[in-house]
Chains A and B, each alone.
Chain A
Amino acid sequence: MIRLVGVTKSYTVGDQLVPVLKGIHLEVHPGEFVAVMGPSGSGKSTLMHILGLLDRPTSGDYELNGASVLHLPSNELARLRNQHIGFVFQNFHLIPRMSAVRNVELPMVYAGVPRSKRRARAMELLEMVGMANRAHHLPNELSGGQRQRVAIARALANDPAVLLADEPTGALDQQTGGEILRILQDLHADGRTVMVITHDPRVARAGQRILHMVDGEIVREEVPDEPR
């Protein structure tokens, strides 16, 4: 369902062209849990942005659900982000002025879901991540782990097939990180495609496959030996 063919990405810094991704080939099948590991600067965040349709590759092709997304107009990309992809970020990226439940409703606002239906669905999702009792708190009234739970609920708002998580446990302590990872594993167990970018080997081992990135290339694919 996700297919990258020879994807490259370069940035111009001053008058120099700096390659960040150097020909990525990648296939992720529906229902897979894939981890991407690599040191900082290896291009894994850029890969995530391209996969999440927030950035366009310099060359190569990207197929989502069997169709190339390279030349789609920006409105169509927005629709795909809204309907097919859920983002979970390292720094949670909740909108500070909005309560937890309003944050969870936001993707549904952009999808045009009517208010009452939206609220019910948001509460359901908050319930699922164990945050129903804090639904009306502002993000700054929540702990890091709680914010990430809200962010996951928000990522699931429009029931996307793919969940993209960029260092989802990076800003959390061991135990809270473990709890978040368990939620992601549960989501995978429910059949959702999950891609996690991390440099925490503990998190990476939750994946069915681990892709190791160095200098803009996937250098090694590992299948963790321990059953999860």
Chain B
Amino acid sequence: MNLDEMLRMALASLAANKTRAFLTMLGIWIGVASILAIVAIGNGGKALVIGEISGGNQSNVIQIVPRELVAPGLPQPGQVLSIDDSDLAITASFSGVESVNETFYGTAVVQSGDKSDNVTLFAGPADLDRLARFVVVRGHMFTAEDVLSHGNVAVISQSLANKLFGSGNPLGAIITLSGVPLEVIGVAQPEQASLYSLVMGSDNLYIPDTTCEDIFPNWTASEMDVVVQPGVDVQSLANRIVLALNIHAGDPTAFIDSSGLAASVAALVGKVTTILTAVIGAVAGIALLVGGVGVMNIMLVSVTERTQEIGIRVSLGARKRDIVLQFLVESMVITSMGGVAGIATGVVVSAALRALTGIPAFVPWTVGALAFVFSAAIGVVCGLYPAAKAANLHPVDALRYE
């Protein structure tokens, strides 16, 4: 008997019990769909987190930080803790450097009327929006004049605006930072919706670096952002600058290029996400296993119900192989159909997630193909025992079975 004939037979017999076939298929369907959805979310989340971390350094910006800021703990005596003007001058002297900017960041408390909130404070030059990657959506960004004049102005993030002013207009309002009044001149949003901001919220306050130095005279620049001219090898320039700074500081590890740090953190996060995805995927695999048990159960019922039919087929010349294949093909058709439906559902779910949350969830085609092969394999594994049971029935007993 050829495959085409067996497929027709299997489809006909499934069609005779549509509800049952559908419910059996549903088990595999749900199992495959949940595994695929989890893989998609895992992949998307990973891509997002890694993009978030490594996206922090734009390709033409080198971020240089004192080592102390990366490795927490008590600083060694004499360790460089901050960036000073001489460091800036050294960096600026390199050819290929377009501009050198100091940025400060830290946590602070802002108040507005009787409301207060913990914020992350960013301070920098007038192009801080580019360096800290945000967009002013209402009002405007502080200007170079504001920086020069130590202006008491602030740009606040949308979520901070919501907390302090609700639906009221934040522009022109006065907030206080360590007792210093600041006028809100702009409301900002991150350049792109990110997982970090989705999870953590982002109550950010952006002010000119000069103003920050007035309010927090003891703060030192936390990061040096070096904007590189187009066409320059960013990595080699970064290495040369760091080397020069370290020679200047007399400490071979005083400064580091935190762009590399971001990459290694990204790799670590990627690894963790992969492990998490695998663990949750394994749990979803249990759903698939249960689906497989359901298939085996139904195939056993089907063999029992069709005992007489098996006897008749044997009397007409069916070999054991024909009987085994008949039931195997049937269970494979069920699980493959469930697999295809599950893959389709997984793809739809990940597309929906992408559209609704911005998480770049996707199902790699290899995972889809693997899911299909695996669901067909479940059909074989779970159909084998019932099929063997059918083929080993004694023909006379089978014929007499009522």
Footprint of B on A, CB under 8 Å? 49, 52, 54-55, 74-75, 78-79, 81-83, 87, 89, 93-98, 106-107, 109-112, 115, 154, 158
Contacts and interface: CB of A to CB of B under 8 A. Distances in A.
Interface core residue of A79, A94, A95, A158 (most chain B CB under 10 Å): A95
A168 B65 CA distance: 97
Size band of the interface chain B makes with A: 20 to 34
Contacts of B318: 78, 82, 110
B399 A158 contact: no
Interface stretch (B47-55, B163-171, B267-275, B306-314): B306-314
Contacts of A78: 314, 317-320, 322
Contact of B315 (A52, A98, A112): A52
Interface string B21-39: 0000000000000000000
A52 B317 CA distance: 11
Interface string B359-397: 000000000000000000000000000000000001110
Contacts of B394: 55
Given A75-B321, A82-B316, A110-B1, 6 more contacts: A54-B314, A74-B320, A78-B318, A87-B316, A94-B312, A107-B316
Contact of A79 (B308, B317, B320): B317
B5 interface: yes
Given A95-B312, A98-B12, A110 B399 contact: no
A93 B312 contact: yes
Contact of B399 (A75, A82, A93): A93
B13 interface: yes
A1 to B, nearest CB: 19
A83 B317 contact: yes
B89 interface: no
B2 interface: yes
A112 B2 contact: yes
B16 interface: yes
B3 to A, nearest CB: 12
Given A110-B1, A110-B318, A154-B316, A54 B396 contact: yes
